[in-house]
Amino acid sequence: MPRVSWSRDEPTARAPMLTCRYHGFIATKEAFVMDDAMDEATKFADRLLDLRRKAGYSQEQLADLLGVSRQAISKWEGAQGRPEVDNVVKLSQIYRVSTDFILTGSASVPSVCEAPSAPAPRELSREYRFALSALMVIAGTALVFVLVVSILAILSMVLTGGADIPGWK
């Protein structure tokens, strides 16, 4: 069975190199290692992009609020730069999150950035429900009374031929 062995060579300026020895053939390959700092910068940029989208701002609108260029926002969201401390504070006020969340992602996002939920319906007090019921009964009784009087007036006119109405023939 052939033996394959990988060995790690000295890292170059771009990335570490791996060397493979197989049946006397030697092949080298770049090893792509995600740097922790690069990973954190990407997460930071993703947080900024996610917060801006949830808040419904364009890059131009956010830039106007912060007093920076749209290109600066683009660089922050593309992990090509980071905002200064005063801009992080302004971002936390705009998005209504803590600066800790913007910088580290450790705090949870408050529900302010999420879609607002409908308020829970309030329970009516017993007295209020009783008063509302009484008003409905009174209004219903008044409506029935008006209808009965109107029907009786119409019947009276029809049966008597409108004798008691001036100008009726």
| pLDDT tens digit sequence for 39-91 | 788 888 888 999 999 989 999 999 998 999 999 999 998 888 889 999 999 99
Rounded-to-integer distance, Cα 167 and Cα 169, Å:
6
Q: Span 36-104: which CATH code?
A: 1.10.260.40
**Burial class of residue 17 (count of CB atoms within 10 Å of its CB; 0-12, 13-18, 19+):** middle
Whether pTM > 0.95 for this model: the answer is: no
Give the CA diameter of the chain: 128
Report domain extents, the chain.
1-33, 36-104, 124-169
For 89-143, the pLDDT digits (tens) are: 999 899 889 888 888 887 654 444 555 566 667 787 889 899 999 999 999 999 9
